[in-house]
């Protein structure tokens, strides 16, 4: 299945809310990703993402429709040569290899665009699909921290995956 990564636009708001308002996505995201996902939250998100220069967060466009998001977030201070990768994909497109390909594109973009030597991602211990997508994209498991994430009333393991330049 074909997709493109492109900057977010306010015209994406309806599909962002349609696909983002899904507990199966929100349960694997940080709390900054709201559930329920409202139009107001979507507008705030898109306006904030448009402020990054160079762009850091893109929509995963499938058939002309914003169907997920992927971003790279350079760190600061002693972590200044690192960037965190985050992503989500609309549930109808799970299991088709799209997120693995999008991760590979973002890794390439991240190393070309930012002065970094390492890109890391922190999937929850319960999110096996995300772990597999990272591994298929060349990421290696660097650490497992037991019961450090508190989400939806319970603890989960924090996994740290990374790829280096």
User: What is the band of 1 on the pLDDT scale with cuts at 50, 70, 90?
Assistant: confident
pLDDT tens by residue, 127-149: 999 999 999 999 999 999 999 99
pLDDT attached to residue 152: 94
C-alpha dist (Å) from residue 146 to 50, 103, 125, 143: 36, 25, 9, 10
Give dist(CA 37, CA 162) in Å, integer: 29
Of 156, 32, 48, 160, the C-alpha closest to 88 is: 32
pLDDT tens by residue, 93-125: 999 999 999 999 999 999 999 999 999 999 999
Domains in the chain: boundaries: 4-120
Whether the Cβ atoms of residue 84 and residue 70 lie closer than 8 Å to each other: no
User: What is the band of 43 on the pLDDT scale with cuts at 50, 70, 90?
Assistant: very high
Class of domain 4-120: alpha beta
């Amino acid at each position: 299945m074909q997709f493109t990564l492109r900057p977010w636009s306010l015209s994406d708001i309806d599909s962002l809310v349609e696909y983002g308002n899904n507990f199966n996505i929100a349960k694997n995201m940080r709390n900054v990703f709201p559930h329920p996902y409202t139009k107001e939250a979507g507008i705030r998100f898109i306006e904030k993402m448009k402020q990054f220069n160079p762009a850091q967060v893109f929509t995963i466009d499938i058939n002309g429709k914003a169907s997920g998001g992927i971003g790279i977030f350079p760190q600061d201070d002693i972590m200044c040569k690192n960037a965190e990768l985050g992503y989500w994909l609309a549930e109808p497109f799970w299991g088709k290899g799209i997120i693995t390909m999008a991760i590979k594109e973002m890794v390439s973009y991240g190393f070309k665009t930012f002065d970094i030597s390492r890109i890391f991602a922190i999937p929850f211990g319960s999110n096996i699909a995300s772990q597999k997508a990272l591994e298929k994209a060349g990421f290696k498991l660097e650490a497992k921290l037991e019961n450090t994430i508190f989400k939806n009333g319970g603890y989960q393991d924090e996994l740290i995956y990374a790829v280096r330049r």
